[in-house]
Chains A and B, each alone.
Chain A
Amino acid sequence: MSTAIAAKGKSLWSDAWIRLKRDRYAMLSLAIVIFYSILAIATKLEWVASPWDRVVGGAYAPPSFDKIELWGGTDIFGRSVLYKVIQGTRIAMSVGLVSSLISVPIGVTFGAIAGYFGGWVDDVVVWFYTTLSSIPSFMLLIAITYALGKGLTSIYIALSVVAWVGLARVIRGEFIKHKTRDYVVAAESLGASHFSKIFKHIFPNVSHFVIINLSMQFMSAIKAEVILSFLGLGVQGQPSWGVMIDDAKLELARGVWWQLAGATIAMFFVVLAFNILGDALRDALDPKIK
């Protein structure tokens, strides 16, 4: 007797997860990202590396294993470099997170309406983001931080303003592709509104691009924060990897290498992890590469 075994359909997400799990580097990267995130949260809650501005030794004490604070040596004022590196994680991750939270909705909305409606709406949006992206992004970042005053808030806003363009482009392209597909036409004939078609029907089918983009966005935001802080346009009075590298510019003459090492190692791993993870996510989530 034969029974029809209804093969249980796998969703895009669970399918992607299975494929992602097979990629060892991706999983390692994910673990690193999770580790940094936990570290950032723990720092925010003052569980670790707090207070960072306490004097733990003499000025420019080299790394030693006597005390955990001294593992990374000390800076010009005798503060723990290890603590500063950990606190820098908080700043870097928060910049990535906040700028993504602002730029993703902007990118999705603009990309969706441009792709979906086409015509003059599309023209306006495309003109707008092309103009924006024609300005070298660092010039724009610097201009915005000058206009808004220096500090973390300005960095959040500046990065968000710059970052949504890439996502909007991708989403627009996908919407153009999807809007004539059968399921959308079917929804339309059942009387679905524009809003419902955009967000209920099409968006779930292109949302994996947001995840891929998010991972890349995080990475570039972290890099941008470091560069802006290095240029003196970033965070003020808080530990940032960029500020530490700026310090190193002077200190290396004294043979003090530990701030540079601490900041670059911390930055290297998180940027690398986000990069690998981003690639792996694209491979896993893009149905065409199956």
Chain B
Amino acid sequence: MHKSLFLFIILVCIGLSGAAPSRAADDAALEQRVQRLSEELRCLVCQNQSLADSHAGLAIDLKNQVREKLKQGASEKEVIAFMTERYGDFVLYRPPVKGTTLLLWFGPGLLMVAGLIALFARLRRRASETVEPSLTIDERARAVALLEGRTPGNPRK
């Protein structure tokens, strides 16, 4: 969901830059790209904050760098590659898909598919296995008594 939104914004940005819009709109689009990108990047000197959220000096510097790069025509991908080269995968809040992160990225999907298949198989098996128990005469009498609000005789212990 988030990813598709991200793509959508990139597409809008590309569309805007192609149409040579006014300067103000250009700035706003750039700011939006800077904002989106810096939400994906970690402030390295903070506890656990993105560049977008942090007030720290280093975060502001890095955010300015992101802005410069984008202004020079770099793509989002290039900025991310540049940051990863300098600071490692640690700087990315969206970990790259690679050998060590396969489980991280595909684990939830696998878990969901496995869970739903298991549930469905179980439900089908169950529907054929269980037989609705019918009431014995005693139980029925007791049920009627209960429904009529009387205390049933001989409650089971």
The answer to whether A and B assemble together is: no
Task: Point out residues on B near A: beta carbons under 8 Å.
Answer: none
Task: Point out residues on A near B: beta carbons under 8 Å.
Answer: none
